[in-house]
Structure 1
Amino acid sequence: MSYWISTILLILGIYIAISVALYYLQDYMLFKPEKLPKDFQFDYENQKTQEYNLETRDGATINGLRFFPKGESKGVVLYLKGNSKSIKGWGKFAVDFTRHGYNVLMVDYRGFGKSTGKRSQKAIKRDLQLVYNKIKEQTTEDRIILYGRSLGSGFATKLASMNHPKLLILDAPYYSLTKVTARYAPFMPLSLLIKYPLPTYKWLKYVQCPIHIIHGTHDKLIPYKTSVKLSQIKPKLTKLHTVIGGGHKNLNNFESYHNMLDDILNREPKTIDLETTSINVNHSSKKTKEKA
């Protein structure tokens, strides 16, 4: 009996030790920041940029870049990036929006690039709302587009749920970060341990603007079926764009992705008069014959 008790206690001890490690080390596992020196100079070929810094109420600094279109601006895209590196590398994707006439704002989360401050889900949400408020000081909300990529999709959804942007675009979004991590640690109590649950599916319920979801069918990190589930939350406002063969990090290498962005950014949605369609027509026209 003592042998089994000792074994159970050992297993329980290991389980608790792993749980504690997951709780305290998750920042290192979830975030892959690239830090930049304060004097680093951003430089992008054929892109006009302006660097800015925002001071938060708790003394942190949020560093960002603004990319300008060549002609008259149609509005602003607030681009919320993924969990790796800094805006130094992510900046090269701004051209996908400036070429359509939009200003692009990118920011580094706390601990990324030149941004400082203690990182937490609450702090990042507060920082991004501050950025959004600064954009509203310069333009109206009907000219603001939120674009969330991977990790940024949850934060973009939260912002959209609390404000009234023109559009919300989610690129390879997750249902919740708890669900993503559960794939790699299915036996751990992640709902209690994870400090960044980022429940995109909950926040999406409160979004009132048009929602566009872009996802690749070969995404191994966040499965395509995730976006299918998200698209069913607000079906009347949501359009799902499928990149056949697209993975998690290479959607920009597909022509179809750029065609999708063109449709989203440049074509106003049309209202369809459903009374003039076949929406109420049943596919089967078989009639039951009455017996004489």
Structure 2
Amino acid sequence: MKIDIYFILTIAVTVILILGLLIYFFQHKFFFQPEKLAPDFKFAYDNLKAEEKTVETEPGAKINYLHFLVDHPKGVVIYLKGNTKSIKGWGKFAIDFTRLGYEVIMMDYRGFGKSTGKRTVEAMKRDSQFIYDIAKKEYSEDKIIVYGRSLGSGFAARLAAKNNPRMLILTSPLYSLLRTIHRYLPFMPAKPFLRYNIPTFHYLKNVLCPIKIIHGSDDNLVPIKTAIDLSEINPKLTRLYVILGAGHINIHQFEEYHRVMEEIFEERKVFIDMDKTSMNESHRKN
């Protein structure tokens, strides 16, 4: 029985095209899982003081955000959240920074919470920069820390690359949405069909501030290898923290995560005289 190679190629191309069209038209449902809030919804959190604000970043687009306040702030954290729900639920994570003396600005992406406007990657980039510029009116950049979690890591990395914040912190970061698709569809040439690529790895090349990456060792959604690969892009400025046993959505439930956060924000600078260490020693030497 002869194998018709042209028939097989036709079937393969057809399957790829069908999958490509599905990726193109439905990727927004996979990458973004928003929760919408009524315009009169009132935010309320225990042990947190927050002001709700809404700004028009461009005609037809209004971005809703929360500004969590502290007395005598040391600086501000711009928090770029993950791809689910709204700042209604994400707001409780602000306590991880307010307890350290930092205010927090947390925005909802377009179509999330009370934010409006057509959602595209370029529009979301503009929105995050708009919020950063608002923070700059109140804080000098050496007081601004950019934090991105999961999907928000790409937007956070871009902000750090385009501006001069004090520090960039990425928790459970994505390498890129393209790599995410390739993980599940390794045979699929997805790039031509991708509308929402956010290349965290690309932005990290141009970041000039310290980069801190926090990742769970048991993250099954975004494997730890992703964090290792990202840490090697700009190694002189990057430090990787691995939270043993932590997954993707529960990393904040590990005590070590909060110990790491304290270490990062305290920024203890220790001088080490490398001439008095084993750094230049080799096992091959006598």
**TM interval, short-chain normalised:** over 0.9
Q: Helix, strand or coil: the match of 1:183?
A: helix
Distance 2:100 2:222 in 1: 28
Q: Helix, strand or coil: the match of 1:215?
A: strand
Distance 1:211 1:185 in 2: 30
Q: Helix, strand or coil: the match of 1:55?
A: strand
Is 2:59 aligned against 1:58?
yes
How far has the Cα of 1:4 moved from its partner?
7.3
How far has the Cα of 1:32 moved from its partner?
0.4
Cα 1:196–1:13 shift into 2, 3 Å: same
How far has the Cα of 1:10 moved from its partner?
4.8
Q: Which has the larger radius of gyration?
A: 1
Cα 1:11–1:211 shift into 2, 3 Å: closer
Can you list the C-alpha shifts for 1:35-84, whole angstroms capped at 9, x where unaligned?
Answer: 11111100101211100011012320000001112x31000000100000
Can you list the C-alpha shifts for 1:77-99, whole angstroms capped at 9, x where unaligned?
Answer: 00100000000000010001000
RMSD: 1.8
Distance 2:216 2:54 in 1: 34
How far has the Cα of 1:7 moved from its partner?
6.4
Distance 1:14 1:222 in 2: 26
Amino acid at match of 1:89: G
Provide the aligned length of Structure 1 versus Structure 2.
285
Distance 1:260 1:5 in 2: 57
TM-score by length of 1: 0.93
1:159-238 superposed matches below 5 A? 159-238=159-238
Distance 1:269 1:58 in 2: 46
Amino acid at match of 1:53: T
Distance 1:276 1:4 in 2: 66
**1:116 equivalent in structure 2:** 116
Amino acid at match of 1:17: I
1:64-143 superposed matches below 5 A? 64-69=65-70, 71-143=71-143
How far has the Cα of 1:191 moved from its partner?
1.4
Distance 1:51 1:125 in 2: 21
TM-score by length of 2: 0.95
Distance 1:4 1:176 in 2: 35
Q: Helix, strand or coil: the match of 2:112?
A: coil
How far has the Cα of 1:271 moved from its partner?
4.0
How far has the Cα of 1:233 moved from its partner?
1.2
**2:157 equivalent in structure 1:** 157
**2:260 equivalent in structure 1:** 260
Q: Helix, strand or coil: the match of 1:88?
A: helix
Cα 1:63–1:6 shift into 2, 3 Å: same
Distance 1:27 1:231 in 2: 28
Can you list the C-alpha shifts for 1:164-188, whole angstroms capped at 9, x where unaligned?
Answer: 0001000011221111111112222
> Identical aligned pairs, as a percentage?
49
Distance 2:137 2:176 in 1: 31
Is 2:239 aligned against 1:239?
yes
Amino acid at match of 2:136: K
Cα 1:138–1:185 shift into 2, 3 Å: same
Cα 1:274–1:88 shift into 2, 3 Å: same
Q: Helix, strand or coil: the match of 2:184?
A: coil
Unaligned stretches of 5+ in structure 2? none
